[in-house]
Structure 1
Amino acid sequence: MAVDTTKSTLLIESQYFPNITYYKTLINLDILLIERYEHYQKLSFRNRCYIAGPNGRILLSVPLARGKNQRTVMKDVRISNEEKWQGQHWKTLVSAYRRSPWFEYHEESLGKLYEQPAEFLLDWNMACFEWANNVIGLSHPVAFTDTYNKEPDPGITDLRDTMSPSETIPGDTGPVYTQVFQERVGFMPNLSILDLIFCEGRRSLELLKL
């Protein structure tokens, strides 16, 4: 992809309902460039996200065809639909957030998203990303890589593989807001953008910019 040197571009992998750090990083850039020619990396946010539960974080993981160890180019990674994972994820979301201030406003549209057929992980991730962006009012242009470049062009901020579920990002100071189970388990930082949407609604974009 040719880089517009007058605009700031972020190169990063696609994620399943990305976390708040992902969004805070994107918010200050002009263009999002999604890597689609990398090899799938296991134990990453590419097919998982974390939401708030009554006993702490809850993992939502999209099952993949041929297992988690496949060395497949990301654009070709297929979802395994042998399990009714979409229904399971949806039930978990309803259980976790039905008492949140903003869940009822988005229940219908998000429920319809989870009813859509999902064959490729990248397509599913982008559908989730588009849904969340529409809700919070984020309109950054999105493009996709045409090939894999270990060293991207000058002018591109490369943050591929810098966010891992097993690591805490140094200096991460995401927004603090009231969560559903905060009185029981304390505040849980850097959950999926879904947590911020259901808890803060229209203030989500404002909080991401802080």
Structure 2
Amino acid sequence: MSGGADQSTLLIESQYFPNLSYYKALIEHDILEIEKYEHYQKVSFRNRCYVAGPNGMVLLSVPLTKGKNQRTVMKDVRISYEERWQSLHFKTLVSAYRRSPWFEYYEDDLAGLFEQRHEFLIDWNMACFEWVNKKLGVATPVTFSDTYRATEELPAGTVDARNTIMPGNMAELGSSLPSYTQVFEERTGFMPNLGILDLLFCEGKHSLQLLQG
């Protein structure tokens, strides 16, 4: 599913609180198409994101069941609730960002988000994505793929960004992104291209303007 000939569509995988590169690409296109029929890939941002901690980057990772198998189609990847990972992730965010300028403004609403329970990873990712978009003021229409298509099979106007934003190149991609004041910057130095929550808690309602700059 894609937009008309005069509209640009970004085709990309679902990610957990995507980083700034993802959002920079998103706001440069008219439509976002989420890939549902790819195979899950380990060591990607599909179930993980990075935030800023006092000693450097902190990894938040959503535990999976069958999703650990790379042959599983993304739409079928299930979340494991054997451990209380949502409580741990929220406590980590509170610890990391309670001194940030905007965290208190979003805290109660964020707590409600982490009380949601979704069976499938893609549904949880979308709940987080929609939550952030509402706070940022991003209104880009979102569609989902209805089958897997290779790059050469995509219609004109669709940009294939699948597997282009990965943990291995996040710092390199971050070199072209705006900088801002982070909570622990004096101790750790600036950490580029973290998950979108870092920008949101540090810059609040100014976040989208920074991304557009």
Give the structure-2-normalised TM-score.
0.95
1:159 aligns to 2:183 (yes or no): no
Instruction: Could you tell me which runs of 5 or more consecutive residues in structure 1 were left unpaired when the two chains were aligned.
Output: none
Q: CA RMSD in A?
A: 1.2
Query: Structure 1 residues 130, 171: CA separation in 2 closer, same or farther (over 3 Å shift)?
Result: closer
* Alpha-carbon contact 2:20-2:193 (below 8 Å) kept: yes
**Amino acid across the alignment from 1:147:** T
**Amino acid across the alignment from 1:181:** F
- Matched residue, 2:208: 205
**Amino acid across the alignment from 1:8:** S
- Matched residue, 2:108: 108
Q: Give secondary structure in 1 for the equivalent of 2:46.
A: helix
- Matched residue, 2:189: 186
- Matched residue, 2:69: 69
TM superposition shift of 1:67: 5.7
- Matched residue, 2:141: 141
Residues 1-21 of structure 1: per-residue CA shift (max 9 Å, x gap) = 253111111000010000000
Runs of 4+ deviating beyond 4 Å: none
Paired residue total = 210
CA–CA distance in structure 1, aligned partners of residues 110 and 134 of structure 2: 12
TM superposition shift of 1:56: 0.2
TM superposition shift of 1:104: 0.5
- Matched residue, 1:117: 117
CA–CA distance in structure 1, aligned partners of residues 188 and 174 of structure 2: 22
**Amino acid across the alignment from 1:194:** L
**Amino acid across the alignment from 2:193:** N
CA–CA distance in structure 1, aligned partners of residues 132 and 81 of structure 2: 23
Residues 130-151 of structure 1: per-residue CA shift (max 9 Å, x gap) = 0000001000000000100012
Instruction: Could you tell me which runs of 5 or more consecutive residues in structure 2 were left unpaired when the two chains were aligned.
Output: none
TM superposition shift of 1:154: 1.9
Q: Percent identity?
A: 66
Give the structure-1-normalised TM-score.
0.97
**Amino acid across the alignment from 1:199:** C
* Alpha-carbon contact 1:163-1:169 (below 8 Å) kept: no
More helix by share: 2
